[in-house]
Chains A and B, each alone.
Chain A
Amino acid sequence: MGFLEGVTVIEISENISASACTKWMAALGAEVIKIEPPGEGDTTRRMGPFPSDEPHPEKSGLFLYLNTGKKSVTLDLEKKEGREILAELLKKVHLLIEDLEIGRKKKFKISYRKIEKEFPHLVYTSITPFGESGPYSRYKAEAIIMEAASGMLLQHGSPEREPLKMGGHVIYYRAAASAFCGSIAALIYAEATGMGQKVEVSIQEVLLHDDFITIEAFLCRGEEIRRRFAPMLLPCEDGWFYIRAFPHEWPRLCKALGIEELEKDERFLDMQKRAENAETLNQIVLNKLGNLKKEEIYHLLQKNRISAAYLASVEDVFWSEHYRTRGFFVTIDHPFAGALEYPGSFASTDDVEWIHSRAPLLGEHTVEILENRLGYDKSSIVRLRQLGVI
């Protein structure tokens, strides 16, 4: 059995993070029912990437990736009938998770006060940009706004340039991780006590929680740390490599490069000195390594137990020998998008398998859930369809 077998989840997602969270839950064996608006479906169905850049609601790479292993039920939550069906479902499931903007939530009449009263067994997880209370709770946001408001953006980028946003949708996945952990804790609590509760995730707080040391540096030392220079990010024959020479690794680095005579050199005696004389040191390192390939440098240094990396492109990552040996990518077939390789599980769990199955077609499971789970008959399903509820 999977880790989360027996758990049923309702997901209403418009901003990636709830979807990413339930993707992981589905992989661990939970039954995830995704509610999509009839007609157009989830917003990510309209976002790329698409095969050959041709948009198609069943072929969005973002949607296909985020929704592996889930069921899709269409339900118009702006209509009363749609909300009634949702309420019937909520009686029978364990977790409701959503990442809606406050206005949308109002429209769908989703609030914890109501949930607590009507579905006391239910765990309710809400992911919002700024949390559901406080003066910014109604503020509008995009990833770049939350990064700014958490302090992260001012730390990220080159010191002499403008601050730089993180790539892709990474911060939404990060928020998903907190929703994942909190929801599972609350599910276990509910299984033990019969009582649901609210799990609240504010993305601003998640990112501020993840601050490395700038808050402590200010509290302890009165220092406002800003964007920082990476002293040993250097070009080589086919790209860039990076050495993070921790103090205890310095002698090993000297040995690996054949520059043992510099180990005790005044100019490079400690981290501070090495940073001050970075230009001289980098020239020495480049003379030794600059005409090698990035992956050769990475292996050479790591084999000598020196913390080092190369700047891996998405292509490098996709073909990484390490990933390939481990079988990180899994091939998943899909009736519209075909067989594609997806990033698979990021953790091994002995013989407890992760489930990697395709994303659902829009409304693929509507009839199944309405008939089998809620006992609707064919004629009422036809009626709901005519009303545009499903």
Chain B
Amino acid sequence: MAENPFKDVRVLDLSMFWAGATCGQILADLGMEVIKIESCSHPDPDRIVTQGLLYLHNELGDKPWNRGMLHLRRNRNKLGITLDLSSSEGRRIFFKLARISDIVVENFRRGVLERLGIDYPVLKEINPLIILVSLSSQGETGPEREYGSNAEILAFLSGLRSVSDYPDEVGLFTATNIPDPLAGTVAAGLALSALRYRSRTGRGLHIVLSQRELLTACIGDIIMDYSMNRRIPAPMGNTHPFYAPHGVYKCRGEDRWIAIAVRNEKEWLALCKLMGNPELSGNPDFATPLKRWLNRDKLDNIITNWTSLHDAKELMRTLQKNGVPASALFSPSELLRDEHLQKRGFWEKVNDPRPGFGTYICKGRSFGLSRMPMKTYRRAPDLGEHNYYVYKELLGLSDEEIRNLEEMGVIGEIPDPAVMERIPKNLPKKRSI
């Protein structure tokens, strides 16, 4: 096996939550030494996520902040230290770390790095080769630069949500899935490109990703319609601009559905044959792709009458076997036992030797590399777990200096009382599956 070109790259990961963590995790997956920096007053909120009270095995243990399930998933392969950046001592130590590091990742609100006195001009002084990767909400400039966001807000502001809706009403739903990991993945790609640039030019630099602009870029073709024709596209729901039938159809059982998309005559005839419905094949209303599209509501009703009698997954297999694009709408439990994902090894089993942790399942990666297979070689860190390694071995501080830092509260392994208050005292019972 050839040498991994990333193994001597060191990353300081100041990010919290999802987008920045994804960036740091990809870099760690590739073999870089990624040091996640938190503090006792501001541990990553994913450690104590109250959202759905997600603690490993639904148990709080004696240190619940190390059991937050989102933290366990999003910070695999990273080292973890604590450092209070708001103290002058903390800042001084951060500078020492920056001097021996290659990349810094952060996703603070704009203005925070300046207030902490660790913004790019300062870091550049200390280490001209440093690459600072900022996952900002809306960029470094412009009137809305300091506005805060999360995935939903970005979807609203980018225009994505306006084209992802029901045709007949504004749906009162929340959607959070794509924006964060999208931004984290692109940021990791940019960080890698910057490393390549640095090795060729000998120059570090500051990358500022605007998460809102990235999402707008992902509906760029729709923006082009406005640019060309001043047209504001109406949301199309599950309708395709020219394919029909195309949509989700009710199946047997509670909240069970199948998605079907017919793109050509061959797929249409295969669907008709399977449905065996004389209303369809001979019907002039559905004789051409255009007629099917124009009469799609009527067509959807006929298809729903058929699908609602069937099991979604069985129907998926039958349709696909006959060359019709279709998929059941998978639920979490179905995904976890899905044969395809298991055969591909998507799910990762993490063996965690800490008492009470045991084995747990994490989602896999969004891409695979044949020569650098990515897997978890180090489970997500306890709060401050690698303080000694980093401060003593990397920075050469003495035991006494480290003890002083602990006493001053600059570093530590236990969250501050104000954080502890937000941790639940007990958890609702796990539902039987």
Contact = CB atoms under 8 A, between A and B. Distances in A.
Interface in B18-63: 18, 26, 30, 50-58
A163 B257 contact: yes
B283 interface: no
B325 A140 contact: yes
B329 A154 contact: yes
Nearest to B432: A222
A131 B344 contact: yes
Given A133-B344, A205-B365, A233-B172, 19 more contacts: A3-B196, A53-B229, A134-B339, A150-B335, A155-B177, A185-B369, A193-B3, A197-B369, A206-B367, A210-B178, A219-B69, A220-B52, A271-B50, A341-B227, A347-B186, A347-B214, A348-B140, A350-B205, A352-B197
Interface string B1-16: 0111110000000000
Contacts of B148: 302, 305, 307
A326 B209 CA distance: 13
A281 B116 CA distance: 37
Which of B139, B195, B201, B369 has the most chain A CB atoms inside 10 A of its CB?
B369
A142 B325 CA distance: 7
A302 B343 CA distance: 47
A153 interface: yes
Interface residues of A, number: 144
B30 A134 contact: no
Contacts of A61: 221, 224-225, 227-228
A94 to B, nearest CB: 12
B282 interface: no
Interface string A184-199: 1111110111010111
B178 A222 contact: no
Given A158-B171, A197-B371, A314 B223 contact: yes
B206 interface: yes
A309 interface: yes
> Across chains A and B, which 10 residue pairs bring their CB atoms closest together, nearest first?
A61-B224, A167-B163, A222-B431, A167-B164, A181-B189, A3-B193, A49-B225, A309-B156, A182-B367, A173-B218
6 contacts: A24-B186, A142-B325, A185-B192, A215-B336, A221-B54, A326-B142
A117 B239 CA distance: 44
Contacts of B220: 65-66, 173, 342-343
A144 interface: yes
Contacts of A317: 157-159, 216, 223
Contacts, number: 486
B334 to A, nearest CB: 8
B190 A142 contact: no
Contacts of A187: 196
Contacts of B117: none
A197 B372 contact: yes
A167 B219 contact: yes
Interface string A325-342: 110100000000100111
Chain B binding surface SS class: mixed
Contact of A192 (B3, B140, B229): B3
B227 A181 contact: no
Contact of B53 (A145, A221, A345): A221
A26 B30 CA distance: 24
Given A4-B193, A217-B52, A225-B52, A312 B162 contact: yes
B309 interface: no
Contact of B364 (A155, A165, A205, A235): A205
A141 B213 contact: no
Contacts of A206: 366-367
Interface of A: 1, 3-4, 24, 28, 48-53, 61-62, 64-66, 112, 130-131, 133-136, 139-142, 144-159, 161-171, 173-174, 177-182, 184-189, 191-193, 195, 197-202, 204-230, 233, 235, 240, 242, 244, 271, 302, 305, 307-318, 321-323, 325-326, 328, 337, 340-343, 345-352
A185 B372 contact: yes
A210 B367 CA distance: 12
A49 B224 contact: yes
A195 B361 contact: no
A157 B333 contact: no
Interface string B314-330: 00000010011111111
B189 A328 contact: no
A155 B174 CA distance: 9
Interface in B163-205: 163-166, 170-178, 180-182, 185-186, 188-190, 192-197, 200-201, 205
A278 to B, nearest CB: 10
Given A139-B320, A153-B259, A219-B361, A318 B331 contact: no
Contacts of A341: 227
B156 to A, nearest CB: 4
B160 A167 contact: yes
A157 B177 contact: no
B299 interface: no
A136 to B, nearest CB: 4
Given A167-B235, A182-B369, A346 B217 contact: yes
A14 B240 CA distance: 17
B323 to A, nearest CB: 7
A159 B201 CA distance: 53
A191 B5 CA distance: 9
A189 to B, nearest CB: 6
Contact of A168 (B149, B174, B222, B341): B222
Interface stretch (B92-100, B242-250, B383-391): B242-250
B265 interface: no
Contact of A148 (B5, B259, B323): B259
B308 to A, nearest CB: 12
Contacts of A340: 224, 227-228
A149 B328 CA distance: 6
B69 A220 contact: yes
A218 B149 CA distance: 27
B218 A205 contact: no
Interface string B340-353: 11011010000000
